[in-house]
A = this chain, B = another copy of it.
Amino acid sequence: MTGMKVVHIGFLGCGNVGSGVWRLLESFGKDIQHRTDLSFHVKKVLVRDINKSRGIAFPEGVLTRKVEDVLEDPEISIVVEFLGGEEPAFTWLHRALESGKTVITANKVAFALHWHTLQKTAKEHASGLYYEAAVCGAIPIIHALEDSLQANRIDKIFGIVNGTTNYILTRMSKNNESYDDVLCEAQRLGLAEPDPAADVEGLDAAYKLSILASLAFHGRVPFENIYVEGITGIQAEDVRCGLELGYTLKLLAIAKRDGMSVETRVHPTFIRCDHPLANVSGSFNAVYLKGHACQEMMFLGRGAGDMPTASAIVSDLVRAASAQKHLYPTFDNEPIPAVALKKNMDWSCPYYIRLLAKDTPGVLSQIAKAFADQGVSIAAMQQKGGQRDGRVPLVFITHSAHEKAMQQAIHGIPREIATMESMIRVEEE
């Protein structure tokens, strides 16, 4: 047993998450010290406005408006970043790593975009780089992939990693409400941003999938390589039809490995109602995965929020300060990844298709032929609801088909016979 060690920390920013970390260190500092012999001391906190009330009695001299007070203080060994966004976060984190400081961040954007550079710099200077809070808030999925499941070949990850869209889809499922109505309500409740694009168009989920897939497959999966489709086009009618067929609609972040070949995509997806992910409702996040040794697992929790995020940051603080040396994920043969990234649309899955078809004999046979011509095989068909303007809604579930074959099949149906209303991908497992 060595004696107590004081660890000096600097905060970059101090919003609600930062205040949460401060409070957790106040409440649990003694317990942590008792167990680890580490005493955490927040020495400097960079803020824009020193006089703003934060509900915390910061000791004299802790708050500063100069970033150098954090980055150039040799006593500060760990820098925790709460700024969010690409810049100036990336530049400051990079400077901290260059001077041998360990960095802890909850910033998925700066991290996903600049991971390669940050890790390279961290390795060169033996600095630590910790980012548990950047993906899924309190859920320890980063640590699970890097530590608990390290003796696994991970074959598959399905994530519900964006709380806003999961809240919207859950409401649409439970109350048969329209997308627009639920989005308005979510904005009113503060569950969606005034400009919701990053969430509802799937970008936030893609940043997180980029991080999860890279760790799981030991090969960099850049954000730009991920196919992304949001939930803005989802119609209440499809959510309801899916439920009647036994499927729940989720914005799923999907990463699969087949041998050396990796596919990654974010899009609205039907999953079976008895799948563990189907009951993940409201603003919860969850990550479901399959490894060759651990088999199927799921981690569920609060993917955002001040205290859940602060909880993850404190665990990173203790890990960073008690590490014998900092470990980094291995990306073999960088910059050439150990895995090959599939091109967009190069995947197969079952499909849910809703068509509006002419209500005359022979139409179904023509549609079935257009499917068969592309090798797409139909698993189920149902007429949903009655005739409108001479057309009836037909819902198809196909067997697994290649995305391009499916799109060509739809293309091959003459418009005077039927028009496509919706096409939603399905994951059957």
Binding site for B on A (CB under 8 A): 1-2, 20, 24-25, 27-28, 31-32, 34-36, 126, 132, 138-140, 143-144, 147-152, 218, 274-276, 278-281, 284, 291-302, 305, 307-308, 310-312, 314-315, 318-319, 322-325, 327-330
CB-based contact B32/A150 at 8 Å:
yes
Other-chain residue from B279, B297, B319, B328 in contact with A138 (beta carbon distance below 8 A): B297
Known: A2-B325, A300-B298, A325-B2. A293 touches B307 (CB 8 A): yes
Query: How many Å lie between the Cα of A424 and that of B208 in the bound state?
Result: 42
Distance from A85 Cβ to chain B, minimum over Cβ atoms (Å)? 24
Indicate if the CB atoms of A295 and B147 lie closer than 8 Å. Answer: no
Contact yes or no, B34 A151, CB < 8 A = no
State the CA gap A299–B301 with chains docked (Å): 9
Chain B residues within an 8 Å CB radius of A327: 35-36, 322
Across the interface, A150 reaches (CB within 8 A) one of B299, B305, B318, B328, namely B318
Most chain-B Cβ atoms within 10 A of its Cβ — which of A147, A150, A299?
A: A150
Residues B140 and A148 in contact, CB atoms below 8 Å apart: yes
> Which of B294, B301, B312 lies in contact with A302, CB distance below 8 A?
B294
Taking CB atoms, residues of chain B closer than 8 Å to A324 are: 322-324
17 contacts between A and B (CB under 8 A): A24-B293, A31-B218, A34-B330, A35-B330, A138-B149, A143-B148, A149-B315, A150-B318, A151-B311, A274-B279, A274-B281, A276-B276, A276-B280, A295-B307, A296-B302, A297-B302, A300-B300
A31: chain B residues at CB < 8 Å are 150, 218, 330
- A312 CA to B20 CA, complexed, in Å: 32
Find the B residue at minimum CB distance from A153: B27
Q: Please report the C-alpha to C-alpha distance between residue A314 and residue B293 in the assembled complex, in whole angstroms.
A: 11
What is the minimal beta-carbon distance from A102 to any residue of chain B, in angstroms?
A: 14
**Distance from A306 Cβ to chain B, minimum over Cβ atoms (Å):** 9
Cα–Cα distance between A238 and B294 once the two chains are bound (Å)? 34
Chain copies in the assembled complex: 2
CA distance A143 to B280 in the complex (A): 23
Contact partners of A312 in chain B: CB under 8 A:
148, 294
Among the listed B20, B311, B325, which residue makes an inter-chain contact with A149, where contact means beta carbons less than 8 Å apart? B311
Determine the chain B residues whose CB is within 8 A of the CB of A281 once the complex forms: 274
Besides A20-B293, A298-B299, A298-B301, 18 more A-B contacts (Cβ < 8 Å) are A1-B126, A24-B293, A28-B151, A31-B150, A138-B149, A138-B295, A140-B148, A148-B315, A149-B311, A150-B315, A274-B279, A276-B300, A278-B279, A293-B310, A294-B312, A296-B300, A296-B302, A322-B323
Q: Which of B1, B2, B144, B151 contacts A140 (CB 8 A)?
A: B144
- B299-A299 in contact (CB<8A): yes
Q: How far is the CB of A377 from chain B (nearest CB, A)?
A: 29
| From A31, A143, A218, A297, residue with most partner B Cβ within 10 Å | A297
Residue of B nearest to A151 (CB): B314
Q: Which of B138, B275, B323, B325 contacts A293 (CB 8 A)?
A: B138
